Amino acid sequence: MSSARAGRRRAIRSLLLLLASLALGSCQPEGRKAESLHFLIGFSQANLSEPWRIAMTEEIRSEAARYSDMRIIYTDAADSTGRQIEDVNRLMHYGIDLLIISPTDSRALTPIVREVYSQIPVIVLDRAVEGYDYSLFIGPDNERLGREAGGVIAELLGDRPGRVLEIQGRSGSPPALSRSQGLREVLSKHPNIKIADVIVADWLRDTAEDKVAAQVRVLPRIDAIFAQNDAMAFGAWRATSTAGRRGIRFIGIDGLPGPTGGIELVRKGVLSATFTCPTGGKESVAYARDILQHKEGIPKKIFLRPSKVTPDLLLQIRSAESISREFRAAPGRPIVLGFAQVGSESEWRVANTKSIKTAAAKVGIELLFEDGKQHQENQIAAIRSFIRRKVDVIAFSPVVESGWDEVLKEAKAAGIPVILSDRAVDLKDDSLWLSFIGSDFIEEGRRAARWLVENSKASGPVNIVELQGTIGSAPAIDRTIGFEEVIKDYPNYRIIDSESGDFFRDQGYEVMKKILLRETKKIDALYAHNDDMAIGAIQAMEEAGLKPGKDIIVVSIDAAHGAFKAMIEGKLSCTVECNPLLGPQLMKAVKDYMSGKDLPIRMITSEEVFPASTAKLKLAGREY
């Protein structure tokens, strides 16, 4: 850009900034000169009527005020989708470098977010828009919050019969649906507890109070009320107190501080429990800076960790809030990371190992690397060796989900945080691990199924063979769940045979060979949990005189080089990406933690779907 053009742009931007400040309000530390401004960020808030959203906005304002080179322009859509679209267009006119948006409506805001993302980075807060046309999503794990609330209700009511009134936020909104789904998942395991009724109160205290006041007149007994935020829980408490109903236990979500926040309501005995629901405001500013500075290791989605708040835990929370956030690493020495890898069972895993080693060397982290060779006992031994060597952080990709409690308790006792990479664990005590970095395996399964349904377009029966990964591993479990979740809506699509190939190419070959010999029904499609097993199965098909990709549609997961070559040859129909290049994200998380930052509970990497028609075009730019 010429100096004259740059000067004109600065002049126009300065004028627009002045107008924006007058029209919309902005955040700029006192005394900051306009010339020092490097980053102009627009924040489009859904509303400022909910206490949680007010807290989110204040968190963004406070965090942004720490930086002399950043300015944020704020808008309030007042819960109007049309107004929010106008706000976003106005922010773009002001020349913002990045947009942060908390949508009023996920579906309705998707087109404008997609349009903005084609021009500048976009961070979506709280409610994800449809698709993946954004830079980063930051939000709470709403389904987990619902499950946690269900667990508290089950503890409070015990084995006696119980009736629960559920108060939902906005009807049809993703947070409301997910929290309700999580609640029901847990309560379904307690047949003595029934949901007596559901009220929709739009996240507002007064609406909840009015509706509960009407409801308590007709409900003979309520043992617990679960409200999807603390404001509605407080409204329900006021209504039942006025009606003289006693003995009801109230559970909320948000856990905000302050005289009317959920934490104080627990302290006063109004609520039996609440859950902190981080707004993501602070994180959005930090990640906005990272994105604009083109830093490596930015995930596609992050989910923030909630915390249970009960009267018994309040003292612990107060103690935790007083902990200093100083740099955790000793000065003058590198950070030491111990990593226990699953093995080298596939093209994907080899690329994953290379990414981790390369990223550690690039940022100066000392890496102690151990190969588990596909055996849990090897990984447990490696983790114990890291504990003895007093590493700063332990990371590992667990070969299976269960059986880690004892060794992770040892790591916690030693004061060493644990980060899960690629695969998750199944533990009741999630304080034993700090964060998960990897893929959304359920979504990968959904994507494979959606592609199959959309592209086979069959009206008659579609018989599917499934090659699963390692039995008990997170990707094998979740990829099956996601795939079955989609095809259940299509009765003509059914899995006629499912067997584990353990993620190995040779086992994919052997298992598919046996299936072809014993299966009497015509096989229309193969769904393989990774590319290696699919390639092995393709060999078995060819030996049986079949033409893979034509006689049998083949869909797999990973999107490694071998899959692209098979697609170019016409033998593989589609591969769903599972990004192995997790090294930069892992190293960023380790450095962030060691510098005193809180980590999200889950960080999901960016991934795509590649049909065979795109293989030649995409292969040249692939790193794995």
The CATH number of 3-140+280-304 is: 3.40.50.2300
Q: Can you name the CATH fold of 441-578?
A: Rossmann fold (3.40.50)
- Mean pLDDT over residues 193-202, rounded? 96
> Over the range 558-582, which residues count as b (16 or more CB within 10 Å of their CB) and which as e?
bbbebbbebbeeebbbbbbbbbbbb
The DSSP string of 278-346 is --SHHHHHHHHHHHHTT-S---SEEEEPPEEE-GGGHHHHHHHHTS-----SPTTS--EEEEEE----S
User: How far is it, in rounded angstroms, from Cα 39 to Cα 98?
Assistant: 8
User: Quick one: tokens of 127?
Assistant: 């409610």
Q: CA 135, 138, 141 angle in degrees (round to 5)?
A: 140
Q: What is the pLDDT of residues 283-329, one digit of tens each?
A: 999 999 999 999 999 999 999 989 999 998 876 544 443 333 345 55
Question: What pLDDT does 14 receive?
Answer: 56
pLDDT tops 60 at residue 16: no
Q: What is the pLDDT of residues 51-83, one digit of tens each?
A: 899 999 999 999 999 999 999 999 999 999 999
Q: Can you name the CATH fold of 336-437?
A: Rossmann fold (3.40.50)
The DSSP string of 543-606 is HTT--BTTTBEEEEEE--HHHHHHHHTTS--EEEE-----HHHHHHHHHHHHTTPPPPSEEE--
- Mean pLDDT over residues 152-181, rounded? 94
Q: Which residue has the higher pLDDT, 5 or 407?
A: 407
pLDDT tops 80 at residue 332: no
Alpha-carbon Rg of the chain, whole angstroms?
26
What's the distance, CA 451 to chain centroid? 22
Backbone angles phi, psi at 45, to 5 degrees: -95, 140
Q: Which residue has the higher pLDDT, 26 or 129?
A: 129
> CATH 3.40.50.2300: which residues of the chain?
3-140+280-304, 142-253, 336-437, 441-578
For 461, residues 6+ apart whose C-beta sits below 8 A from its C-beta are: 492, 494, 524
Residue 523 DSSP one-character state: P
Q: What is the pLDDT of residues 492-510, one digit of tens each?
A: 999 999 999 999 999 999 9
Q: Which CATH class is domain 142-253?
A: alpha beta
- Mean pLDDT over residues 541-562, rounded? 96
**Surface-to-core class of residue 500, CB atoms within 10 Å of its CB (0-12 exposed, 13-18 middle, 19+ buried):** buried
Contact 263, 109 (CB under 8 A): no
Q: Which residue has the higher pLDDT, 571 or 620?
A: 571
Sheet holding 249-251, edge to edge: 193-200, 162-168, 224-227, 249-251
User: How far is it, in rounded angstroms, from Cα 574 to Cα 608?
Assistant: 11
Question: What pLDDT does 216 receive?
Answer: 87
Task: Fill in the amino acid letter for 472.
Answer: G
Confidence at 217, pLDDT banded by 50, 70, 90: confident
Q: Which residue has the higher pLDDT, 27 or 146?
A: 146
Average pLDDT of the chain to the nearest whole number: 91
For 573, residues 6+ apart whose C-beta sits below 8 A from its C-beta are: 455, 549, 553, 554, 555, 567, 611, 612
pLDDT tops 60 at residue 31: no
Question: What pLDDT does 497 receive?
Answer: 97
pLDDT tops 70 at residue 233: yes
**Surface-to-core class of residue 498, CB atoms within 10 Å of its CB (0-12 exposed, 13-18 middle, 19+ buried):** middle
User: Quick one: tokens of 466?
Assistant: 């499934």
Question: What pLDDT does 11 receive?
Answer: 53
Task: Fill in the amino acid letter for 66.
Answer: R
Question: What pLDDT does 529 receive?
Answer: 98
pLDDT tops 80 at residue 34: no
pLDDT tops 60 at residue 423: yes
The DSSP string of 116-159 is HHTTS-EEEESSPPSSS-SSEEEEE-HHHHHHHHHHHHHHHHTT
User: How far is it, in rounded angstroms, from Cα 107 to Cα 95?
Assistant: 25
pLDDT tops 60 at residue 107: yes
Question: What pLDDT does 18 receive?
Answer: 53
| Percentage of residues in the chain having pLDDT higher than 70 | 91
**Surface-to-core class of residue 308, CB atoms within 10 Å of its CB (0-12 exposed, 13-18 middle, 19+ buried):** middle
- Any idea which residue has 């859904």 for tokens? 46
User: How far is it, in rounded angstroms, from Cα 168 to Cα 474?
Assistant: 31
Closest CA to 224 of 274, 184, 272: 272
Question: What pLDDT does 331 receive?
Answer: 65
Confidence at 201, pLDDT banded by 50, 70, 90: very high
User: How far is it, in rounded angstroms, from Cα 356 to Cα 362?
Assistant: 10
Confidence at 345, pLDDT banded by 50, 70, 90: confident
Confidence at 9, pLDDT banded by 50, 70, 90: very low
- Mean pLDDT over residues 401-414, rounded? 96
- Any idea which residue has 């692209």 for tokens? 564
Question: What pLDDT does 2 receive?
Answer: 43
User: How far is it, in rounded angstroms, from Cα 79 to Cα 187?
Assistant: 32
User: How far is it, in rounded angstroms, from Cα 309 to Cα 174?
Assistant: 24
User: How far is it, in rounded angstroms, from Cα 1 to Cα 496?
Assistant: 61
